[in-house]
Amino acid sequence: MHFACERDVLLKEIAIAQEIISSRNTLSILSNVLLSCQNNLLMIKATDLKVSFQTQIEVDIKTAGSITVFCDKLLGILRSLPEGELEIKLDDNLMVSIRPVFQKIDFNLKSVPSDKYPEIKEISDEAYFEFPQSDFLDMISKTLFAVSSDETRYFMNGVYLEKADSELIMVATDGRRLSYVSKKVDGSIPEFNGVIIPPKILHLIKKLAPGEGILSLAVADNNLFVRFNQHRVSSNLIDAQFPNYKRVIPEKQEHRLLIERESLQAALRRVSLLVEEKSRRIQLGIGPSNLIVNSSEGEIGSATEEVPCEYDGPEMTIAANYMYLLEPLRESTEEKIGVEFTEPDKAITLRPVPEKDYFHIVMPMQVG
């Protein structure tokens, strides 16, 4: 194997490959990245056996071939080298030489034959359906923050994806809040049962996808497969039963408060400077034409802010974890938000105004 390429182009893809590789690999080969070149293309693959990544870049191939090298060391070498063209060559002793074309710098990195590398699952093109990148990224942003980090409740450790007629639906919950978003799909979607997607692949897609054009999705063999631009990523799915989320969505709320999203967001950020770290509790004093947000941090101090709003219902005080309100607001772009509720001890619904394809449910805390 012998090829030349631009250092910056290769560095970008190897950095992504290193993010895939787990620091707790039980197999040493999983710390390696696979490099395979032919037809003036270099294929780069990385996997931790759960999430896999593939990409390709254009290179000047002198001799085709494939090999695996320790990804972390390759990344460190590439970062240390100056910009410009690199030459990478494999010798008969399985040592990979990495050097800039026009400078007297030479690294030699031990390699492992590519036939030792785990096979990465792939499926046929017919299994994929197309979906706008911008819509998929929006769905990820609207739900990912609500995933549970409690590993004992692994059925909530991912984002639920299901097909309903001509829509894709994503839902995430940690048992105390729920985020829901749906998008219409132009064209047909292959039938599949609802699946739970681990956050790692969703974070990866969010980072790599530019948000323009189309991506292709497939759900098969307890895996999610995603293709966009030159990238292919896949992941095992969480093998569990997701909770029946429809049961916690209120059919009707008695009261509705309209408020400027940015004003509420700013008030929550300021008032949260003085909250109990463990509970993150703030109180919302709801009254005609104003919302009073207040917090208290033991003997340290307290904070109060009054925010104008549109409301003509009964006065009420609701307590909530401020992060459960702040995180949905960060992912919204609408000027106004509707806060819907019935009683202080029942679920709160956050909706954009005018209503769109998403909403958030927050369970309140005890007042006091």
- The secondary structure of 262-290 as a DSSP string is HHHHHHHHHHGGGS-TTT-EEEEEEETTE
Q: What is the mean pLDDT of residues 94-118?
A: 93
The yes-or-no verdict on residue 21 having pLDDT over 80 is yes
The residue assigned the tokens 């969010």 is 206
pLDDT value at 232 more than 70:
yes
CB neighbour class for 324 (10 Å; exposed up to 12, middle 13-18, buried from 19): buried
**Percent helix / strand / coil, the chain, rounded to 5:** 25, 45, 35
| Position 367 confidence tier, pLDDT thresholds 50, 70, 90 | confident
Under the banding of pLDDT at 50, 70 and 90, the label for residue 327 is very high
What pLDDT is stored for residue 34 in this prediction?
97
Please, what are the domains in the chain?
2-116 (3.10.150.10), 125-246 (3.10.150.10), 250-362 (3.10.150.10)
Q: Which residue has the tokens 């100056």?
A: 82
Confidence of residue 25 (pLDDT cuts 50, 70, 90): low
So what's the pLDDT on residue 188? 81
Q: What is the average per-residue pLDDT within 128-132? A: 94
pTM greater than 0.85: yes
Q: State CA 103 to chain mean position distance.
A: 40
Per-residue pLDDT averaged across 341-345, rounded? 95
DSSP-assigned beta bridge partners for residue 16: none
pLDDT band (50, 70, 90) for residue 365: very high
368 pLDDT band, cuts 50/70/90, is low
